[in-house]
């Protein structure tokens, strides 16, 4: 018997399954005992019905997990790689079936909850910095929303590479001081970022915020900066941004859709993310609770830190 969090009939509930979740759907299946699974924003959106695509009914939710295989090895699993994760069962279950191609061995000593909480966050940061922005040596990276989530991960990766970083946060005190890092208040952009760069401006922007800060960040950049927008916490519209702001700087403003990334690239990003986590380059805040409390975790207010559900095997 496996406990699982299922969306059925428009409701989300904890149910008992007679067999592992996804047993009838996975290709080249491997059974996994779930240790820890991340509650992603996409999982919350799916649970609350804000995903505007047809979903199977019933559907086991969940995207990313760390679990134990039958031979005792620990592995990171990307439970769904199809965009919204809604076309086959996911990983919010004490036992589930994964595709063999999506099993990545966990580095020795890495806490499963940390791996579950941090892997997808780092994957997004790495994809934004490397694939979309193509950040190079010596370039200055401006990060909006730097105190948490993908923003905090982007700060950690850029600093690890020796890049100068300007971290903008609504509450600057929430960003720890480190060598090579200048922390500014989001409300003080663009002047604070221009001061931090000696008037040259940033070369790359990692933007998880949107709204007026997006417009302010454009004006905090130098010539032909690459500006990657991942989120919209401050709103969908980019404030008072004008076409002239883009033209005058030849500013390259680009949205990021992590769900368009190929499965092959996702696997390589995940492998790199797990190594960075094992080296403590990035240490996510983890808010853990049992799988039995997962419905509340999905439908309630997000906690401080990355929400992680613990399977029966971990308790």
Domain boundaries, the chain: 2-106+285-314, 119-258
What superfamily does domain 2-106+285-314 belong to in CATH?
Medium-chain alcohol dehydrogenases, catalytic domain (3.90.180.10)
CB 32 within 8 A of CB 68: yes
**pLDDT of the residue at 268:** 95
pLDDT value of position 28: 81
Least reliable range by pLDDT among 81-90, 229-238, 262-271: 81-90
Categorize the per-residue pLDDT at 83 as very low, low, confident or very high, splitting at 50, 70 and 90.
very low
For the domain made up of 119-258, give the CATH fold.
Answer: Rossmann fold (3.40.50)
Residues contacting residue 109 through CB under 8 Å, at least 6 positions apart: 278
Average pLDDT over residues 37-43: 89
Q: Say if residues 56 and 88 touch (Cβ distance below 8 Å).
A: yes
Residue 85 has pLDDT above 50, yes or no: no
Angle between helices 112-126 and 263-278 in degrees, nearest 10 = 120
Backbone angles phi, psi at 132, to 5 degrees: -95, -50
Please report the pLDDT score of residue 79 as a whole number: 66
pLDDT band for position 35 (cuts 50, 70, 90) = very high
- Say what the pLDDT of residue 107 is: 96
Cα separation, 149 vs 121, in Å, equals 6
pLDDT at 12: 94
Averaged pLDDT for residues 167-172: 96
**What spatial distance separates the first Cα and last Cα of the chain, rounded to whole Å?**
16
Question: What per-residue confidence (pLDDT) applies to 220?
Answer: 98
Among the residue ranges 70-74, 84-88, 295-299, the one predicted with the least confidence is 84-88
pLDDT value of position 102:
85
> Encoding tokens for residue 131?
């694939």
pTM across the whole model: 0.93
**Mean residue pLDDT across the chain:** 91
Confidence band of 87 (pLDDT split at 50, 70, 90):
low
Query: Per residue in 127-144, pLDDT tens?
Result: 999 999 999 999 999 999
Q: What is the mean pLDDT of residues 58-68?
A: 92
What pLDDT is stored for residue 300 in this prediction?
86
What is the CA 218 to chain-centroid distance, rounded? 23
């Amino acid at each position: 018997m496996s406990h699982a969090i299922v969306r059925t009939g428009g409701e989300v509930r904890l149910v008992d399954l007679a067999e592992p979740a996804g047993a009838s759907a996975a290709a080249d299946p491997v059974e996994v005992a779930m240790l820890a699974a991340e509650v992603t924003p996409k999982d919350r959106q799916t649970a609350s019905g804000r995903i505007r695509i047809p979903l199977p009914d019933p559907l086991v939710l969940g995207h990313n997990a760390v679990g134990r295989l039958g031979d005792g090895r620990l592995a990171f699993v990307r439970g769904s790689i199809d965009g919204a994760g809604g076309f086959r069962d996911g990983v919010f279950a004490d036992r589930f079936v994964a595709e063999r191609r999506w099993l990545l061995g966990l580095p020795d000593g890495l806490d499963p909850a940390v791996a579950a909480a941090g892997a997808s966050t780092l994957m997004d940061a790495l994809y934004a910095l490397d694939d979309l922005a193509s950040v190079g040596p010596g370039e200055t990276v401006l990060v909006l929303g730097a105190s948490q989530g993908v923003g905090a991960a982007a700060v950690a990766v850029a600093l690890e590479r020796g890049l100068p970083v300007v971290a903008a946060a609504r509450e600057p005190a929430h960003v720890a001081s480190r060598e090579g890092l200048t922390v500014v208040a989001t409300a003080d952009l663009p002047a604070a970022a221009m001061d931090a760069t000696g008037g040259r401006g940033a070369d790359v922007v990692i933007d998880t915020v949107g709204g007026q800060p997006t417009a302010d960040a454009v004006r905090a950049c130098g010539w032909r900066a690459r500006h990657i927008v991942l989120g919209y916490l401050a709103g969908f519209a980019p404030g008072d941004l004008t076409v002239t702001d883009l033209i005058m700087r030849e500013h390259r403003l680009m949205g990021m859709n992590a769900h368009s990334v190929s499965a092959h690239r996702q696997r390589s990003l995940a492998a790199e993310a797990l190594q960075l986590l094992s080296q403590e380059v990035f240490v996510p805040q983890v808010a853990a609770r049992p799988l039995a409390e997962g419905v509340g975790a999905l439908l309630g207010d997000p906690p401080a830190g990355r929400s992680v559900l613990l399977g029966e095997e971990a308790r």
